Amino acid sequence: MVKVEKSWTLSVPAFYAGKSILITGASGFMGKVLIEKLLRSCPDIREIFLLMRPKKGTSIDGRLRTLLTLPLFDKLREERPSSFEKLIPVNGDVIEEGLGLAPTERRVLAERVSIIFHVAASVRFDDTLKDAVIVNARATRDVCILATNMKQLLAFVHVSSTYSQADKPEVKEIVYPAEVDWKQTIKIAENVDDHTLRILTPKFLGTSPNTYTFSKRLAEQVVTEYSEVLPVVIFRPSIVISSLAEPVPGWLDNFNGPVGMMVGGGKGILRVLYVDPTLSADFIPVDIAIKGMVCAAWKRGITTVTQDPKTHVYNCASCGIKSITTAEIVEMGLRMTEEIPLEGILWYPNTLTTNSKLLYYILTMILHFFPALILDGFLKMSGRREMLTKLQRKVFTANSALEYFLINQWKFRNEKMLNLLTDLPTEDLDTFGYDYWNFDIVEYFRGCLIGAKVYLLKEDMNKVEEAKAHFKRMQWIDRVFKFWFIVAVSWIAIRSGLIEWITDTYHSMIDDPILET
């Protein structure tokens, strides 16, 4: 039996001191923030190996140099620029069997790595079964195989998703039993032709809403089986969005989740959203999720597999911390975009929400596609590129892909995760802990909006007053348009006799003796 006090005799930075780390998915959203946090808060790390592949004619060294120019690394560049020398890109690819690693790289990793963060994944909801299984499940198997040869391995953190168990209304911090044979599924994905796989996909998915959640569940089964010989952590974040504070507030590199919804609404592009507005949205700031990952590896690594053979499971979710409905997010976003408007808005922001699919389709045609077609017509006549119809198709496709997650509610039990961020050595509480009870959700989303302006849209915060002036113009145009639209509809109704017909029909119904009886 391990004595409890042992957990607190080694601080988090001390645990990482002198260690070599392997990160897959380093160029992704969470991977970037993980690199920054480790280098800044665990300065005595020996080295960090980054599994990367050449992309669009750029070498892995070139990709790493480009990655490090991001504003995310400004603080680290000022405080400790030499720390970037600890980053070692390794040529590999999770799409290839065996991770595409050469024997030399494989041998070096096996000899030196002590901690693995397997973050790489395809997060597309519309991937084919083959692509999702190869990237999310087979690659996880190959990382596990690599890990079994690492004699110094202390922790293997596999980043999954709370939605890997999306068919359960309550998701606990436990390992769930396998429902399919992961080995057989990988073989089928590798060998069966695409046409047959498309036919088989619904049977494989079962209660999973898409190939993403199915393949992430499959990956959990892979690491669970390997947990007999590996010190495994299954880390399940919910929707990961903008940073709360570290290294800068509001940092984000994608339009996913509620921030994308705020941007779309603030630009006047997103006019209607198919969602149950009464449901609570579960999200987690990326820097809090990364703190959890770093601490999860520490907690797993301070005891051996022999001493503690269990698989550590953490649901990194906001359940029980702060609750906010989708309707409240939309309302708050519209209020904030009036205070801090986005530049060059296309129309006065106003987003409607509905959980009626029929009404959503009708409103989409009226508020999204018809105006887009008209405006694209003007753009074409003026010799400019048409773009709004294509953009609205993307909005509609994105909403359709998220449909299952926007009309269902889950309860993600996260007691272990909350304890992980509070039950730390005293000296680590400021750096790795989180006082979640004092989370100010309004201030957080204000920071998200500012971060979206600065880091996603590349807008200048010194031009807010100009943006406000344009916002006011679009507000008046919207009011004038609505006034004349009502006038036009009323005139048509009067001229066509529609109002008279409705009035006569109403009186005939009132006077009908059958109705009176």
Q: Where are the domains of the chain?
A: 4-254+282-321+410-456, 464-517
Q: What is the pLDDT of residue 3?
A: 37
Q: Kindly indicate whether the domain formed by 4-254+282-321+410-456 is annotated with CATH number 1.10.287.130.
A: no
Q: What is the pLDDT of residue 397?
A: 84
Q: What is the pLDDT of residue 144?
A: 97
Letter for the amino acid at 241? I
Q: What is the pLDDT of residue 5?
A: 41
Can you say whether the dihedral through the CA atoms of 300, 304, 307, 311 is positive or negative?
A: positive
Q: Which residues in the chain land under pLDDT 50? A: 1-7, 514-517
Q: 314 has which bridge partners? A: 235
Q: At what angle do helices 182-191 and 211-226 cross, to 10 degrees?
A: 130
Instruction: Give CA–CA dist 114/439, Å, rounded.
Output: 34
Instruction: Give CA–CA dist 175/225, Å, rounded.
Output: 11
Instruction: Give CA–CA dist 238/193, Å, rounded.
Output: 33
Instruction: Give CA–CA dist 144/138, Å, rounded.
Output: 10
Tokens 């348009």 -> residue: 481
DSSP string, 399-440: HHHTHHHHS---EE--HHHHHHTTSS-GGGHHHH---GGG--
DSSP class of 177: P
Q: What does pTM read for this prediction?
A: 0.90
